[in-house]
Amino acid sequence: MTLEPQENRISPPAIAVIIPTHNRRDGLLRTLDALGKQELKPERFEVVVVADGCEDDTVALVRAYAAPYPLTCLEQAASGPATARNNGAKATRAPVLLFLDDDIEAAPTLVRAHLEAQTSGDDKTVVIGYLPTVLTGQEGLFRAALRGWWEDMFQNMAQPGHRFTYADLLSGNFSVKATTFWLLGGFDTDLRCHEDYELGYRLIHAGGQLQFAREAMGWHHERTDIDRSLRRKQEEGKADIVLGKRYPELRPGLVFSVLWKNRTPPPGGGVFWHLFAASSRLVCYAAFAAPGIGDAIARIARPLLDFLEQCRLRHIWRLLLNALMAYWYWRGVTTGLPTRADLDTFLKPVTVPGGADTEMVDLAEGIAAAEARINRTRPASIQIHYGAQYVGELPALPGAEGLRGIHLRAALATTLAETYGNIAEQYNGEAV
Amino acid sequence: MSYEVLDVDLAELKPEQEVDVSLTSEQDGAFVLIRHRTRPVGSLFLNRNEIASEEKGGVRKRLEAGAAGARVRARVQAELNWSDAPPTPKTTPVTVAICTRERPDDLRRALHALTRLQGDGYELLVVDNNPRTDATFAVVEEFAPHVRYVREDTPGLNAARNRALREARREIVAFNDDDAEPDPTWLVNLARNFDDPRVLCVTGLVMPRELETPSQVLFEQHSPFGRGFTRRVFAGPLVDPLAVSPVGAGASMAVRRTLPDLVGDFDEALDAGTPTRSGGDHEMFYRILAHGYSIVYDPEAVSWHRHRRTMEELIDTFYGYGVGVYAYWSRCLLREGEWRVLLYASNWLVRHQLPELACAALGRPGLVPLPLALAQLRGCLAGPWAYLRSSRRQEQRAT
């Protein structure tokens, strides 16, 4: 790892932008250009690019780049983004670290928004920025679905009552205090995928306060296509087993548990659900018992997807896409759990030592009082009553932040609105 | 047949206060839009007997029951300071466009309503489509300088819509029919839904302005514009783009000005003023969803539509609706390869149109009257050819 000398300065920059990159010199160039147009004065931040085993001219490009801000280029042998980010973080003395991916074109407000949110927060503040998707080139069902997935995620995070979980930590655009980052030991370099989820878990466990800042925005030049997505599924399956082994309480929420449940159609489900369940069972079986044949069929089925799209058979297209994704995900799972018996054992419910503390909330005391209490105690789960009547509950969610008053309010206003409203009317003796 | 149209906000009633309904001797009852703290939660037809009943508070109880779950939800959300919809934007950079032709009195009423809109930074635009006289121009002059006038000679509502999109000076274009009058909050409630970059179109709730004639009542009973009282998001990747029926009505919709760049122009072979009579809005809803974008239905954006008053006009409207649906389906089939319109057409025929026709022929009450059902079917038969003719005409105009 070679280090470029930093400029002599009186005080270190307030925030360091750390960009791991691997053979994407054009995107990186765009990213560096966008960082040159920040509202925040260039003296206040610095940029550290970590070239992770780059075989193109990335390093030469960065070293020759005339940036208005301090720019450092580190080189490392191909070791993955986790190592690259850790090394980038080591190379700066800035108290705030902003991790940015090389396909993000920062809006002029990005760095300032992160810094402001971090300054008005405390040590535990983690700020996640917004990444609107730029779909370059073809449209098509997959690209629309992909953008939908991203935007839904940000829309959820932007909701006032959103309960942050480990999976909300997106390594493409987030900031954290350097002290907290190093207290936790940085990213886990053993993981090649979902290393951000893993860090997210440890952050939340250590009391990290995740928040979403829409102004901390960058355009995401998303180039993932179906094939890249399918390849990645295998990595994700493998990574999720590592996560599940290390943190057993996360298992019910990880994708393999969901896929496992999909094998049974919901009661009263129609033809579509039965087809879906049948295909879920088929791909799970094939991945474990007959991967050779499964792989061959998956490769043949791939062009069938394009044909279905041409024929405007959207629902079947989606069924097949989900089946292919699930298949490659299971293939990744088999690297960690070779047989179905292993999987069965793995999926057995795990009791969390110490049990989750469930707080009882009585709405008769008033919602404001209840909210204040929850904000103080931050319980893992709450059970809500109105006097003697049961209203509902907010169950414990592994890997999620402790509950806050706003979560109670959100639940009462949405999922529990009619139950709560009807009970409240009974108690008040009248409608309205 | 005629009904009094009422707009009742249950939250504004004092405890134990009854809802006062006074009918003239000709009216058969009342049609009520039920709100809670300005939020629409339900609607109800009340007949004369139900209103005049001896029971104290009977009308109010019926209204509360009629709105049921939606009212409770609205009440709880008002108490908790919560909304299902995004917050009201500080500014409303919207061009409000009325596409109109030779309806000066309706236009004047609509413009009066539009000048009372809440919002900051919007502009008003009237697109006069293929006019015979300068009546529209004269009405717009009465409102000068607040309303811009533009004349579009290519006949057709979609041609007028495309012109509005080209002439607009703001990022969002809201379309209001010349026979509709929006509530003052209509504009801000449409505009607030455009934060999500996937949203290309927002539709609102359309209620009847008056129910003074039998044909107006029939229209409201059998093919109302309203799509319910719950805010819904139709996300292109997740829904069947041909299922446009629940999405809303073109009589009250807003789109991004960049719509043509993303999914193309409104098809000028479709909708009023062309042989295809209607369907221009449905086809655009389909195209937005097919391209993977979203449409939001926001029932808090309320406008009041004056339905056609005479039976002749109503039969003509049902005919035009049949033509429009089959015309837009023809376009989907021919231009987009959507062979599933054949499934939709047969489903509509077999599961709805034929049973309705049979019931109407047998004189069963409660369903569509025979002349209307027949008119719609005749329209469907004429639809595909109407589209081909209209399309050819449009191509000839272009060359």
Residues of A in contact with B66 (CB under 8 A): none
Alpha-carbon gap, residue B181 to B176, rounded angstroms: 8
Q: How confident is the model at residue A7 (pLDDT cuts 50, 70, 90)?
A: low
Mean pLDDT, rounded, for B77-85: 91
Which residues on B lie below 8 Å from A421 (Cβ)? 72-73, 75-76
* Residue A423 to chain B, least CA–CA distance (Å): 10
Residue of A nearest to B83 (CA): A413
pLDDT band at residue A430 under the 50/70/90 scheme: very low
Find the CB nearest A430 among B15, B84, B337: B15
Residues on chain A touching B235 (C-beta within 8 angstroms): 148
Q: Do A413 and B77 touch (CB under 8 A)?
A: yes
Contacts of A322 in chain B (CB under 8 A): none
Nearest residue to B252 via CA among B299, B212, B303: B303
Q: Which of A124-138, A165-179, B233-247 has the lowest mean pLDDT?
A: A124-138
Residues 233-272 of B with CB under 8 A from A: 235-238, 240-241
Residues of A in contact with B291 (CB under 8 A): 139, 144
Q: How confident is the model at residue A354 (pLDDT cuts 50, 70, 90)?
A: low
Between the alpha carbon of residue A193 and those of residues A12, A28, A83, A234, the distances in Å are 32, 21, 12, 10
Helical residues (DSSP H) of A159-186, grouped into ranges:
178-183
Which has the higher per-residue pLDDT, B366 or B130?
Answer: B130
A319: nearest Cα among A260, A282, A276: A276
Contacts of B338 in chain A (CB under 8 A): 312
Task: Quote the pLDDT of residue A296.
Answer: 95
Question: By percentage, how much of chain B surpasses pLDDT 70?
Answer: 99
Determine the average pLDDT of the residues in B206-228.
92
Do A176 and A97 form a contact (C-beta atoms < 8 A)? yes
Find, among A168, A204, A253, the residue nearest to A378 by Cα: A204
**What pLDDT was estimated at residue A2?**
47
- Out of A148, A310, A314, the one facing B235 most closely (by C-beta) is A148
Give the pLDDT of residue B13.
87
User: Is 50 exceeded by the pLDDT of residue A229?
Assistant: yes
| Residue A138 binned pLDDT confidence (cut-offs 50, 70, 90) | low
Over the stretch B26-54, which tens digit does the pLDDT of each residue have? Answer: 889 999 999 999 999 999 999 888 887 76
Q: Of B73, B80, B340, which has the smallest distance from its Cβ to A418's Cβ?
A: B73
Lowest mean pLDDT among A42-51, A245-254, B49-58, B232-241: B49-58
pLDDT at A407 over 80: yes
Q: What is the pLDDT of residue A431?
A: 42
Distance of CA B393 to the CA centre of its chain: 28
Mean pLDDT of B74-96: 91
Q: From the CA of A326, how many Å to the nearest CA of chain B? A: 19
- Give residue-wise pLDDT tens across range B1-14: 899 999 999 988 88
In whole angstroms, give the CA distance from residue A298 to residue A295: 5
Question: Is residue B381 within 8 angstroms of chain A, CB to CB?
Answer: no
CB contact under 8 A, B237 and A410: no
**Chain B CB within 8 Å of residue A413 CB:** yes
Among residues of chain B, what percentage have pLDDT more than 90? 76
Q: How many CB pairs under 8 A join A and B?
A: 74
Q: Express each pLDDT in B144-161 by its tens digit.
A: 899 999 999 999 999 999
Across the range A352-372, mean pLDDT stands at 84
Cβ-defined contact of B336 to A151 (cutoff 8 Å): no
CA distance A137 to A121: 40
Q: Is ipTM > 0.90 here?
A: no
For residue A424, give the chain B residue with the closest CA: B76
Mean pLDDT, rounded, for A267-294: 90
Q: Which 3 state secondary structure label does DSSP give A11?
A: coil
* Nearest-angstrom CA–CA distance, B117 and B355: 44
pTM over 0.80: yes
**Residue B334, Cα to own-chain centre: how many angstroms?**
27
Location of structure tokens 């499964």: A294
pLDDT digit string, tens, across residues B304-332: 999 999 999 999 999 999 999 999 999 99
pLDDT at A6: 54
Q: What is the mean pLDDT of chain A?
A: 91
